[in-house]
Structure 1
């Protein structure tokens, strides 16, 4: 009793809804991902890391410094 036109209309409607929910899901995933990443406290923390602050070993060649006893002797 159901005509072919009604069946085709329902197929079209399901395709439209399927595409709509696909876009909705994709946008929700991107927004959620960026929301979680931008809530990270480390992005907004401007303090010097503890390992750099308390390290007695130079991190890079440009930050090299001589120990105090070598400077006071006058070797450098």
Structure 2
């Protein structure tokens, strides 16, 4: 299981300064001993705040499921 959180802010600060918050929660399961085959599933949530009341960006949430083979 992996949790990654990132906060990013635009520079220089001004009336349209944007701050983004990105969170990823991921689950990984290896199917063999050397971890070359496995399954992965996760969810990512992104939110953007803009320093102006007239601008609004709605949050975004995605989910994913897959497998890997190397």
TM range (shorter): under 0.3
Q: Which has the higher contact order (CA 8 A, sep 6+)?
A: 2
TM norm structure 2: 0.20
* TM-score normalised to structure 1 length: 0.19
Is the helix fraction higher in 1 or 2?
1
Larger radius of gyration: 1
Q: Say which structure is richer in strand.
A: 2
